[in-house]
Amino acid sequence: MQILKQKLFWGSLAVLLSLATLVTAFTACNKDAGLAAIETDANGYVCLKCGAKFYTERTVFMGSKCPQCNQTTLAQTVGYYCEKDKHITIRAREGDREGVVCEKCQAHLGGAMKEPLEKDYKAWGATKAKG
């Protein structure tokens, strides 16, 4: 009887470990939506004075001086993703008290923050800067 209990215990443990391994394998392959929202290959900037738009490679950062108007009004940008029309609206990260509205369909984009990619900055009309 004791041997049967031990076999049942070890058999149950093996099944549980196998299930845990399968669950881990299936969930580890999926990209976390929160992590995907902050991953980017570029940094974006907009001048709050002249409206010039710039982007750099991910490892390069610009200061606050705008290369176009030479004022210290350059701000980092952030994107807001519209699920409805798959458009990303890019705006200054700071100093904006208005609610974010999709540039394309005018839908409110409260919690849809997403870091834009280089292709998004190009589509926005930003010029690549060296930093």
With 0-12 CB in 10 A as exposed, 13-18 as middle and 19+ as buried, what is 119? Answer: exposed
For residue 13, the model assigns a pLDDT of: 44
Q: Which pLDDT does position 22 carry in this prediction?
A: 47
Place of tokens 């350059």: 74
The region, left, alpha or beta by phi > 0 then psi within -120 to 50, assigned to residue 51 is: left
Q: What is the pLDDT at residue 111?
A: 75
Rounded CA-CA distance 25/73 in Å is: 48
Nearest to 55 by CA among 77, 24, 32: 77
Q: What is the pLDDT along the chain (131 residues), one digit of tens a residue?
A: 566 555 555 555 444 445 455 445 555 555 565 555 568 899 999 999 999 999 999 999 999 999 999 999 999 999 999 999 999 999 998 866 667 899 999 998 877 889 999 999 999 999 999 86
**In contact, 126 and 51? CB cutoff 8 Å:** no
Query: From CA 111, how far away is CA 107, in angstroms rounded?
Result: 12
pLDDT of residue 19: 47
Phi-psi category of residue 16: left, alpha or beta, with phi > 0 → left and psi -120 to 50 → alpha: alpha
